[in-house]
């Protein structure tokens, strides 16, 4: 909802873009000093006070890339272990300059050094040389370089998303986009808006998203007004990003409510078949608390999946849980009984993996 969208207006660009009008919560930051590119300690404390009543969840628009360091203040609000995914044409992992002041170019490095709840970071968009310069991978950061994005970049991102169940905070700098998709005040990448939206959806599909911020506007450094073409392009891209993020967050909320109801139903039900259905569904949604329950019910859970023809879930189940030879033999008989040929093939493959199966007595 719009009441979870915060617009931090430092440069005055958002009223000129006129894409948010009166929607969301507007924070007027135009009076602050010591905030453009670098943030003094005094300004940082004022910013923290002004966002104190807001939670870290929701969507935060941060103005231009000069203010990307604001992500640090939103991340401080997260009070549990989490991971950070950054889409940016730059690493933002430079050494702090000017007496160690927080900056738009150093904020990721500072968050890595100071945020005790941050467990993992992935940055997608900078060049290979930029990653090498800041020794990103030596610091444990998963790097998806600009040169990889058109080849195996999405596969690498997907592998990282699947590598844990840590909730995720997304930070998006529009300078990752090509100039026909966004106009920023920094050098830009070549990513299409469609591709960026697909990556955002991919993140939502595999992790719980705690919050999102977006920067990359293009305020004028002179008294001249912004070009109408720039305003039009950024207005369109901001609307597309917000619509995508808002819909994904709303869907996440609906799914979480459904999961809560399923958890309650699981606890109250006396029907073992219903409890198995719920446990399987919730486990593969990321409900790891059901692992111990399912590990004690390999045989009935497998039979239920075979009987109902849930072969894709059966494949994931056989991969996730250890299944001994006796249980495999029994499940093979069940697959034959229910005439589930695909399940038989999956079970035979699992038997080969477990026992080095060489027999040819099973006929499909």
What are the tens digits of pLDDT across the range 320-339?
999 998 999 999 999 999 99
Of residues 302, 286, 165, 315, the one with CA closest to residue 294:
302
One domain, residues 161 and 99 = yes
pLDDT, position 356: 67
Domain assignment of residue 334, yes or no:
yes
One domain, residues 236 and 310 = no
| pTM, entire model | 0.82
Local structure of 96: helix, strand or coil: coil
One domain, residues 116 and 241 = yes
Whole-angstrom distance, CA of residue 108 vs CA of residue 281: 36
Provide the number of structural domains found in the chain. 2
Which of 37-41, 63-67, 230-234, 352-356 is the least confident region?
352-356
One domain, residues 249 and 275 = no
* Domain limit, last residue, from 207, 232, 256: 256
One domain, residues 240 and 109 = yes
Confidence of residue 66 (pLDDT cuts 50, 70, 90): very high
Burial class (CB in 10 A: 0-12, 13-18, 19+), 89: buried
Domain assignment of residue 42, yes or no:
yes
Mind listing the pLDDT tens digit for each residue in 187-226?
A: 999 999 999 999 999 999 999 999 999 999 998 775 667 7
With contact defined as beta carbons under 8 Å apart, do 322 and 355 qualify?
no
One domain, residues 286 and 248 = no
Which of 183-192, 220-229, 280-289 is the least confident region?
220-229
With contact defined as beta carbons under 8 Å apart, do 189 and 175 qualify?
yes
Mind listing the pLDDT tens digit for each residue in 77-92?
A: 999 999 999 999 999 9
pLDDT, position 1: 39
* Domain limit, last residue, from 204, 222, 256: 256
* Matching residue, tokens 């006796």: 326
How many of the other CB atoms lie within 10 Å of CB of 325? 11
Domain assignment of residue 248, yes or no:
yes
**Average pLDDT value over all residues in the chain:** 91
Domain assignment of residue 210, yes or no:
yes
CB within 8 A of 198, min separation 6: which ones?
Answer: 154
With contact defined as beta carbons under 8 Å apart, do 32 and 43 qualify?
yes
Confidence of residue 353 (pLDDT cuts 50, 70, 90): confident
Domain assignment of residue 78, yes or no:
yes
Mind listing the pLDDT tens digit for each residue in 83-122?
A: 999 999 999 999 877 667 999 999 999 999 999 999 999 9
* Domain limit, last residue, from 256, 291, 314: 256
| Average pLDDT for 46-64 | 94
Determine the straight-line distance between the first and last CA of the chain, rounded to whole angstroms. 53
Mind listing the pLDDT tens digit for each residue in 41-54?
A: 999 999 999 999 99
One domain, residues 147 and 275 = no
Which tokens is 16 given? Answer: 């000129």
Domain assignment of residue 81, yes or no:
yes
One domain, residues 241 and 298 = no
One domain, residues 171 and 294 = no
Domain region containing 133: 2-256
Which tokens is 361 given? Answer: 């007595």
Confidence of residue 21 (pLDDT cuts 50, 70, 90): low
Domain assignment of residue 364, yes or no:
no
Domain assignment of residue 360, yes or no:
no
The CATH number of whichever domain residue 26 belongs to comes to 3.40.800.10
Q: How many residues does the chain have?
A: 364
């Amino acid at each position: 909802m719009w009441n979870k969208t915060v617009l931090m207006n430092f440069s005055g660009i958002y009223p000129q873009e006129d894409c948010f009008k009166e929607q969301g919560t507007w924070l007027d930051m135009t009076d602050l000093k010591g905030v453009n590119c670098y943030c003094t300690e005094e300004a940082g404390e004022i910013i923290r006070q002004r966002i104190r009543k807001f939670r870290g969840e929701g969507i935060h628009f941060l103005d231009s890339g000069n203010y990307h360091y604001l992500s640090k203040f939103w991340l401080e609000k997260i009070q549990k272990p989490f991971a950070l995914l950054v889409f940016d044409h730059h690493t933002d992992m430079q050494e702090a300059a000017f007496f160690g002041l927080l900056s738009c170019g150093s904020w990721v490095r500072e968050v890595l050094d100071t945020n005790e709840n941050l467990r993992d970071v992935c940055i997608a968009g900078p060049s290979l040389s930029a990653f090498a310069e800041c020794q990103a991978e030596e610091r444990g950061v998963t790097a998806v370089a600009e040169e990889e994005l058109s080849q195996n970049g999405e596969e690498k991102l997907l592998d990282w998303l699947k590598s844990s169940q840590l909730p995720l905070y997304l930070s998006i700098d529009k300078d990752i986009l090509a100039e026909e998709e966004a106009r920023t005040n920094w050098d830009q990448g070549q990513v299409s808006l469609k591709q960026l939206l697909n990556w955002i959806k991919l993140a939502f599909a595999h992790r719980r998203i705690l919050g999102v911020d977006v920067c990359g506007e293009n305020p004028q450094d002179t008294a001249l007004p912004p070009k109408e073409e720039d305003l039009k392009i950024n207005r369109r891209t901001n609307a597309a990003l917000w619509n995508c993020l808002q819909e994904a967050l709303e869907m996440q909320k609906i799914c979480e409510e459904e999961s809560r109801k399923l958890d309650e139903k699981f606890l109250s039900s006396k029907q073992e078949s219903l409890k198995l259905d719920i446990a399987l569904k919730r486990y593969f949604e990321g409900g790891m608390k059901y692992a111990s329950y399912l590990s004690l019910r390999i045989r009935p859970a497998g039979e239920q999946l075979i009987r109902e023809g849930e072969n894709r879930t059966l494949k994931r189940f056989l991969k996730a849980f250890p299944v001994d030879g006796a249980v495999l033999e029994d499940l093979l008989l069940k697959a034959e009984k229910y005439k589930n040929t695909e399940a038989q093939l999956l079970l035979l493959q699992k038997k080969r993996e477990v026992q080095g199966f060489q027999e040819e007595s099973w006929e499909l």
